[in-house]
Structure 1
């Protein structure tokens, strides 16, 4: 099949060998990610949701062979606003850069929701203990601590606490957070953060199949 004339000078990003698709169960939305997990994880994803406002989030994620997160870049846009954040691990901790156009907080207030505040964080030192990044509403990011600590190989009821840099959507505020992952046997973990808990089903590679109250994976037939 010939390449369309208008595409001949377009430079595509490197292709990825795998992809996953989830449908949100807590709101109307979905997520599609293409990735390579042969040595750590390199991933590009798109997440869409309508709550608290309709938005599209595009992200790129790089995780080392040790499964420590090295880089997350995320861009979010909605009607009349756009935001971006870049989290990069350096020898001195996390470097956080942000961008903003339009007024997300005004759009949230007009819809009867509280403001999101500024993207990023003014105190990156508070993220010093974080080894993982967690993008809210995304089932992909649960895989990072699961693979890093080898949770699938641990005995049932073995719990591990992890510190993460939690990136909230749609505002892209970045907050330190403590989470607890507990092995419940093959293909199942319990996730806990604060008062919230969920028993999550995983495939043999540690990727989410079913996350009650958040998302379910849709696999090709």
Structure 2
């Protein structure tokens, strides 16, 4: 893979390493660790078309006594989710004093019909998708796009639509907003996040 991007979590203990090839759209493999709500590792493979629209996200989450997998695909404007589970994540969460999270995937993929991009809980890499697809780094400041994301929560791998707003601020800044949360993302010349306030910072 031509490039490696490493982020350190600043909201909690954890890290994210993404190996990326962006010569024709994006192909990326990622490996993330986290301790919240219970210790787990996440592995993901993200593929877009040449216009940076998501084609496929394969993701697994694994911890002590459980493993979940999700394959999320978009074709002809429709999404399909395939899931599997070994062990019992809900039992592990309850034993650690956390509420259960239910099943992975989505029973209503039609709710994702307006989504072109995916988002993955606490992973900085997917933020690059709308930034590149919409050419936000060269857009006039104040240019804003309201988007629906196919959002994947960790460690449950539940999928649901998430309304987000991306706004061009400057040559290295894009404002991200979802609900009441807002953050000015610092990005490099290729649109990859270098600082996500409150979440992660890229090293070195």
TM-score band (shorter)? over 0.9
TM-score under structure 1 length normalisation: 0.91
Please list every run of 5 or more consecutive structure 2 residues that lacks an aligned counterpart in the other structure: none
- After the TM superposition, which of the residue ranges 37-46 and 151-160 deviates more from structure 2? 151-160
Please list every run of 5 or more consecutive structure 1 residues that lacks an aligned counterpart in the other structure: 1-15
Asked whether 1:190 is paired with 2:175, we answer yes
The aligned counterpart of 1:85 is 70
Larger radius of gyration: 1
Residue 17 of structure 2 is aligned with which of 32, 36, 39?
Answer: 32
SS of 1:89's partner is strand
Residue 167 of structure 1 is aligned with which of 149, 152, 157?
Answer: 152
Q: Compute the RMSD of aligned alpha carbons.
A: 0.8
TM-score under structure 2 length normalisation: 0.98
- After the TM superposition, which of the residue ranges 90-99 and 146-155 deviates more from structure 2? 90-99
Asked whether 1:63 is paired with 2:54, we answer no
Aligned residue pairs: how many?
Answer: 204
Residue 124 of structure 1 is aligned with which of 101, 109, 118?
Answer: 109
Give the CA deviation at 1:91: 2.2
The aligned counterpart of 1:106 is 91
| Deviant stretches of 4+, over 2 Å | none
Residue 39 of structure 2 is aligned with which of 46, 50, 54?
Answer: 54
* Richer in strand (by share): 2
Asked whether 1:177 is paired with 2:162, we answer yes
